[in-house]
Structures are given as structure tokens and as C-alpha cells.
Structure 1
Amino acid sequence: MSGIKRFFEKRKLNVKFKKAGEGHRLDQPSSSGGRKAPAPASAPRPVTPRKPESDAARKAAAEAALARMEANQQSKTADGMVIQRARMKRELEMEKKRLQEAEAKGAAARAEPQEVVQDCAPMVEAILFKCPDIGPQVLPKAEMEQAIHQFLLDNLEDEPEMTSALMIYTLNKSKEKVKVCVDTLIKYLDNIINNPTEEKFWKIRQSNKAFQERVACLKGTEEFLHAAGFSLKSMPFEDGEAMFYVFDSELAKDLERMQNMKDVLLQAEPLRPELDRAMRVFHPSSSAAKFAIPDEFYNVSPEELKKEQQRREEATEKLGMLRTKAMRERDEQRELRKYRYTLIRARLPDGVLLQGVFRATENMKHVYDFVRENLQNDWIPFQLSSGTGHKLEEGEGTLAELGLAPATVVNFAWDQAVIKEVAAQQGQAVAKVHLKPEIMALIQEL
């Protein structure tokens, strides 16, 4: 029976009792008027004092109270677990929504839809490198590294100090090991500069453990020691003889030369192969978003890429939303490492396409610099954006992070405020041809 129903039935009973008049004792006669005669005052009943509770009773009462508290606590805990599960469910839904928004945002950051075609001749035959410091040649990376090495060997005799320092920086890949080596060599030179007459600072034992681990194991160090003034000699050591690098006593007096050796070693920089942009220019084309990408653009083959993508999609379906932040970050990093290079085409206002090759780890500043150096009016500000209109700023992340790998088309637009100002001052708008004449001379059909 519901509470409301009981309430109304109780009210009906009360009404009936009121209609029947006031109540009276059964052993007393009722009044003619139906009213109850006032009852005589009865004597107060004596109050019986309560007996003190026994220890067992108090203990039982305490246990009962404790049981009630535990029951209440369990009820609260159960309520807390329900709330926690509801919160987790809500967080999962929010995370799912966040991922969907991030995916949509990433899609918006990409250029217009692109089609990567593998069954036609690629627009980039090979990934080539250059090194302007050694000459104009453009070669594959391995051949360019060999050409740099040969360039250093060829110049060692004419410029031994500078060339040997360059060899240390260029021929060794580990920056940490190079730094330790340079610091150690600087210490040797400082000892001689600060103590030019003390012979103990002129000698370096070749078999010394620190020398072997910090200096001798790197390429170019032997050439630098000889260029500095050391020569390898056999000298008495303990009970026998050992090989020592011994500094020329006469050269030790030339402190200015020693300081120059230090400066050369500290200021030298490595000669590294630079990615050649393989710059090409195309007439306006409806096929601008179609690309034929060489296998060199990928860290894995296209077939392996498809298999990996399929495997990840299946794993994601199995896991559903139960993916931790670390798992998502690991997947993102794996995604970014798929590509080594990216092919970018900048569509100019006249429809002409300027194409260049970039590392996937480069950022938008390199793309802006590439476009700017080929413009006839390179001093006018401009903006690059994706096909969806998303502005690509110079300070943004890597090309892979922006979704611009392995190939994309970006749209070029002048800064309209500057264009209007130029037109007002010169009386005419910027020329319709945007690239330098020597660049436009290379234009071809896509």
C-alpha cells in the first residue's frame, strides 16, 4: 500500500472517531450529552529506578552500534563504487570524444585530398644530397659521405690544423663522444700553454686507458695530434718501453699558435650531407594532388605499411577504448616514424606548382624558406595553408606531425595588407608571375 493511500485512509478513520464524540472509560457511564465526564485525578504512579546495565549488556549494545556503523560504511562504499564507475564511464566517453575531435582536427590540418600512386613513374627518381662546402655535386647519401671524406683527406696536407679538426667533427657520428674528445684535447693543449717548460705535460702515453677511451677511438684524432705538434715515439716506461705522443719543445714556446689550435678545435663544425630539394616547377594541373612516391620515402615498404595499419586497426577494435595514454603516445610515435621524407607542392596564385623534397622531421619554417628563396618578390610576406584552409605557421611542428607526409599540396597566398600598400605606392599590383625568371625557365608539364 502506498504512503499516500495510507495517509488518506488514516484521515477517514480520524473523521469517524471525531463524529463519535470524545472517548470514555468502559467502567464509567456515558454522559447524556455524549461528552466524557472529567476523570478524577489519579494519584501519580511511583517511578521505579532503572537497574544499572551489566557489562555484558553494555558490550552487546556497543557491538550492535558498531555493526550499524559498519553497515552504514559498507553502504557508503557501495555508493562510492557506483559513483566511481559512473565517473570512469563518463571519462571514457569524454576521451573518445577528444580522440574523435583530435582526429578531425588532424584531418583539417592536412592539405586537400591526395592520391599516392605507386604504379607509375615517380616524380622524384632518387633522394639526393649535397654539401656546398665541398662543391656543387649532388649524390646519393652514401656517395656524398664518401665524397666528403675524400675532400678532407685531399685538404689535409695543405690545411692540417683546420682539416684535422673538421675530421673529428665530421667522421664521428656520436656528438657525446666528440665532445668528450674535444674537451680532452683542449686539456692537453691548456697544460702545455700554462706550463710550456715542463716536460711532463709534453707527453701522452698511447696505451693510457683514458686516452684510448676518449681520444684514440675517434677518427681524425691522430691527424690532429700530428698537426698540433705531437709525434709518436718509443720511450722508457716502468720496466720497459712504451709509445708516447711527444710534443715538440720548440713549438711549445709559440703560445699564440697553441691558442689558435684551441680556437680551431672549438669553432670547427661538421660537414654534413644536406638533402637536395630536387626542386621542380609545373604548369597548373588538375593532377596536382596525385603523387608517385619512391620507396625511399618510407621507413618500411608500402606493403609492410599496409599490414601494420591493418594489424593496428584490428588491435584497436579489440581493445576498444581501454587504451592508456602511454599506448596512444606509442602509436602516435610509430605513426610519425613511418616516413623519412615528404614531397610538398606549393600552389601559387597563378596555379603554378613549386615542388620540393623535405625530411619528415623538418618543420614548416624549412618549407617557407624553400618557397621564399624561389620568389621574385621574396620580401613580401605570404601564408601557406592546407587545401581545407588551415593556416600552416612557420613555428609549427614537424611535417609528419602536421600530417603532411608522405606528400601534400599547400596553397600560397600573399599578405593582402602588404599587397595593397605596394599597389598604392607603385600604382600597380604585384606581377602575375611569382617565381624568379630562372626558376620559371624550368617549368614543365606535370
Structure 2
Amino acid sequence: MDKLVKFFKEKNVDRKFSKLGEGHRLGDASVQHPASAANSKHQSTSFGNTPPSSRPVEATLSRITITESRDTSNQTELLFWCPNLFGDTVVGSRDEVEQAIQNYLLSGSVCNTNEAIVLMVIRGIEKSKLPSSSNIPLSELPSISEIKQNRKQNIVRILQNLINAPENPVYRRLRASNKLIQDLLSIDGLESFLTLCNFKKTMLPATRPSEQQQVEGTDEKTTVKNNEDSVEEYKEAFYVISEEDANNKEHLEKLLNLFTTADPILPELYRNTKVYRATGRTLTCIPRDHLPDEFFSQTKEEFRKYYDQQHRIIEESRMLLTKAMRERLKTQNMRSFRYAVIRVRFPDNLLLQGTFYAMDKLSTVRQWISECLTKPYLFRLYAPPSIQTATLTNAPPTVPVELTDDNVSLSEVGLAPSSLINLIFNDRIQQEASGTSVLRFDLSQSIEDI
């Protein structure tokens, strides 16, 4: 027995040394570290050079590598469309659809030039963004809706002032350096809109405080010499409308009415509904690292850094946070995501996938599911255990909790930027649907394996 054990030990030693390659002298410059040599050899060899006994292992590892590195970009592609203008004939990225809408408005195929310019200004207002300055406190930071509303009101006020008092020269001159006018001029198409209202950009004389003269200092004191005249003349850009053009109330009222009643024409999020058949290796919930950058309000690196900082602050000073501060932090976290990929797992192990805005209500997801079914089946939705403990209830972490509040957003319930929810029919419907597909025919014919 001892001889048999010794024999196998010698064979194992010979096998291990045979994998280390040829020997080298200690002073040889071509010596390579065994680990790096093994790695390079592993990358350059194929199954043809692999011993037969290890081929099954290599094949298994290869399949796992391919599965893990499989590109999921087609599963999380962010698409947009504008169904009111193009139906489903134009589907693409936001920039592609934006360009298609812009070309459509400028072509004059549906509206005249005046209407196109007004619609472009409305589109520009809807695309307003938060101020880029990071020095503004969170409590004073205006919301996107407030910025849009203020810009609309300012444009309406300019038109109403001209209509009500065309003889007033103050209303007929807009100073380009004024902060309010500067903010409006940052809107796409606003300058063309002013031209449409018959405003003309003109350089006019203006006054400003004169610059201080040279400062003369001594060892005892410092004196400042100023000009006797505290102002100096210079020219500045203004947008001016003549009194005659301002008296054209019919034209201005038409523009005001169109501006206040027209709906913005913007790209809409394409649901991009897909159906997958889950397998044993399926990643049922798409990892965040596999999501496009557009899903995040910040880049992935910025978000990770921000999340780590906020987590540390909360952990260190949880007892010192007021209710208002906790609400603001919650709002910041909700703003971190723009979109959400939701997968709905059916009892037959099918996954229904759709893309939503992170602020969409749960009722939107429920309605989308109903539209994908062959009949208006009654169903219940359950949140995954990993999410419900933090946002829904204090139930044990292994117990799914039913999603019943359709008025909460996907961010509030913790389903953004990606999540898996379970769908369960009641017993009668489950028996009725057994053996048949509950999904629409077009969806049941486009099932993909993942």
C-alpha cells in the first residue's frame, strides 16, 4: 500500500513540474515568472494542445466566461420616438429623434415659419436644466418645473406689456446684459422668436459706473482718486421694437395665444418591450454596471463617489439629521436616476422587460403589463426581498411584499435603475391560462433566450 501511495506522489510531482516549462539558469535574462508564463501560455493555447483529461474543464470555463462577458447593450438600449409625428417609423437615440423633429418643424410641411419658431422655443423651455453652479444650497436650488414656469411667465410678460402699453419705451427695449434676458436668450430659438416679434438687436448708448483710478499708497494711508464724473458713456446691446410694430396687437396676440396653448413636441421614451426566457444562468435583474450612462443623472464614477460620501455622512450623523434634512437627502437620491429597466417575471419563467422613467408611477408599469396580455387578467405584483426592506416594510428580508400603492414612483419604491418584480395571477386565471401564452401574439412570437 505504501508503495502505491509513493508511486502516485511521484507521478503528481512529475506532472506539476512538467507544467512549469523548461528550466533556466538564475542569471539568465530571459527568465520569466512561472505565473506570468502560465498566463501567457493559457492565452495562446487552444483545445488542440490541451490534454484530453482537462478539456471538459476548459470547455466549462470557456462557457462561463462567454456567459459573463456577453454584451447586454442590446438588452438595455435606451431608445426614443415621437409617435404623434412619426408613429413607429422613427425610433432611435434622443439626439436622432430630436434632429428628426427639428427637421420636421423647419421643413414647413405642417406649420408655417411663425408656428415652427414658437414650437422650437417651447421645446427649448422644456429642455431646461438645473443651474450648473454647485455653490447653491439644496434648499435654495429651484426645481426644473420652477425654472420652466419662470421662463414661460417672463416671455408671456414681455408680450403682454407690449400689447397693453405699446407706447411705453421701457417695454420696447430689452437690455441684453440683464440677467433675466440673458436667461431667456439661453433658450434655443428665443432670438429667432424676438425677431419674429419684430425686435431688432441694436447698440445703444448706456451708462455705467466709471472704473476707479490708480490707487496711490503711502506708509501711513492709502487714498483712492476717482473722476468727478461717476459714470461713463458706452454702447450696449439692446433688443428694440418700434412703436409702430408694438401697436400691431393682432400679430403679438396671435403669437401669445400660440405660445400659451401649444404643446411641446419632444422625444418620448420608447418602451422597447422585450420578452426573454430565463435559463439557469440568467441574470434576472440587469446589474447597474451594465446600464448605459444615460440612466444616471451623473456619470457612474460621480454617482459612486457621491453615494459613498452620503452613506458615510448618514452613518456618522444619523441621529443628528432632522426630518427635513432626511427628506432632502431622499430627494437627492431619487434624482440620481433618470430611467429604470423593469423586468416582470411570469409564473412560466418568462421575463417581460420594458424601459420607464424613474419618476413614472407604479400604475404606469401595471398598465403596460395589462397591454401586453391577451386578456385583461387580474394579477398581483411583488417587490424583490432585497428592495422591500428598505423602502416598503419591516418584514423579514426573505419575504416578498406586494406592491399595492400605484401612486408611488419607481424611484420611491426602490425599483430604479433596474429591478425584477414578480407577477402572480389568481388561481382561477392561472388554471385558465395554463398551457397557453398569456402574452399578446406578437410578443409570444419574439421570445429570446438569455
**Normalized against structure 1, the TM-score is what?**
0.55
Tell me, yes or no, if the aligned pair for 1:289 and 1:409 is still in contact at 8 Å. Answer: no
Q: Of 191, 196, 200, which residue of structure 2 is paired with 1:227?
A: 196
Task: Tell me whether 1:407 sits opposite 2:418 in the alignment.
Answer: yes
Relative distance call for 1:403 and 1:189 in structure 2 (3 A) is: closer
CA offsets, 1:355-398, max 9 Å, x none? Answer: 112333333122113212222224x5433223544211352433
Q: How does 1:285-300 map to 2 (within 5 A)?
A: 285-287=279-281, 290-293=284-287, 294-296=290-292, 297=295, 299=298
Tell me, yes or no, if the aligned pair for 1:279 and 1:356 is still in contact at 8 Å. Answer: yes
Match of 1:186 in 2: 156
Q: Of 269, 274, 277, which residue of structure 1 is paired with 2:268?
A: 274
Q: Which runs of 5+ in 2 are unaligned?
A: 1-66, 130-144, 207-232, 385-398
Match of 1:24 in 2: none
Match of 1:75 in 2: none
Name which one, 1 or 2, has greater alpha-carbon Rg.
1
Q: How does 1:129-278 map to 2 (within 5 A)?
A: 129-135=80-86, 136-155=89-108, 158-172=111-125, 173-174=128-129, 176=146, 178-191=148-161, 193-194=163-164, 199-200=167-168, 204-207=172-175, 212-213=181-182, 215-228=184-197, 230=198, 232=200, 245-246=240-241, 249=244, 252=247, 255=250, 258-278=252-272
Which whole-Å CA distance do the structure 1 matches of 2:177 and 2:318 have between them? 55
Q: Of 428, 435, 442, which residue of structure 2 is paired with 1:438?
A: 442
Match of 1:354 in 2: 352
Q: How does 1:379-398 map to 2 (within 5 A)?
A: 380-386=377-383, 388-398=399-409
Amino acid paired to 1:186: V
Tell me, yes or no, if the aligned pair for 1:169 and 1:178 is still in contact at 8 Å. Answer: no
Relative distance call for 1:301 and 1:187 in structure 2 (3 A) is: closer
Tell me, yes or no, if the aligned pair for 2:344 and 2:420 is still in contact at 8 Å. Answer: yes
Which whole-Å CA distance do the structure 2 matches of 1:352 and 1:227 have between them? 55
Which whole-Å CA distance do the structure 2 matches of 1:169 and 1:282 have between them? 40
Tell me, yes or no, if the aligned pair for 1:363 and 1:396 is still in contact at 8 Å. Answer: yes
CA offsets, 1:51-83, max 9 Å, x none? Answer: xxxxxxxxxxxxxxxxxxxxxxxxxxxxxxxxx
Relative distance call for 1:348 and 1:222 in structure 2 (3 A) is: same
**Normalized against structure 2, the TM-score is what?**
0.54
Relative distance call for 1:234 and 1:357 in structure 2 (3 A) is: closer
Identity %: 23
Q: CA deviation at 1:284?
A: 5.4
Tell me, yes or no, if the aligned pair for 1:350 and 1:433 is still in contact at 8 Å. Answer: no
Tell me, yes or no, if the aligned pair for 1:277 and 1:356 is still in contact at 8 Å. Answer: yes
Tell me, yes or no, if the aligned pair for 2:342 and 2:419 is still in contact at 8 Å. Answer: yes
CA offsets, 1:418-443, max 9 Å, x none? Answer: x69xx9xxxx8799432222222222
SS of the residue 2:192 aligns to? helix
Aligned length: 316
Amino acid paired to 2:153: D
SS of the residue 1:290 aligns to? coil
Q: How does 1:34-183 map to 2 (within 5 A)?
A: 119-122=69-72, 124-135=75-86, 136-155=89-108, 158-172=111-125, 173-174=128-129, 176=146, 178-183=148-153
Amino acid paired to 1:169: I
Amino acid paired to 1:168: V
Tell me, yes or no, if the aligned pair for 1:295 and 1:301 is still in contact at 8 Å. Answer: no
Relative distance call for 1:179 and 1:305 in structure 2 (3 A) is: closer
Which whole-Å CA distance do the structure 2 matches of 1:275 and 1:161 have between them? 28
Relative distance call for 1:396 and 1:215 in structure 2 (3 A) is: closer
Tell me, yes or no, if the aligned pair for 1:377 and 1:434 is still in contact at 8 Å. Answer: yes
Amino acid paired to 1:386: A
Q: CA deviation at 1:312?
A: 4.7
Tell me, yes or no, if the aligned pair for 2:284 and 2:420 is still in contact at 8 Å. Answer: no
Relative distance call for 1:194 and 1:361 in structure 2 (3 A) is: closer
Match of 1:52 in 2: none
Relative distance call for 1:134 and 1:444 in structure 2 (3 A) is: same
SS of the residue 1:385 aligns to? strand
Relative distance call for 1:158 and 1:433 in structure 2 (3 A) is: same
Amino acid paired to 2:372: N
Tell me, yes or no, if the aligned pair for 2:123 and 2:266 is still in contact at 8 Å. Answer: yes
Match of 1:81 in 2: none
Q: CA deviation at 1:280?
A: 0.6
Relative distance call for 1:438 and 1:313 in structure 2 (3 A) is: same
Q: Which runs of 5+ in 1 are unaligned?
A: 1-116
SS of the residue 1:408 aligns to? strand
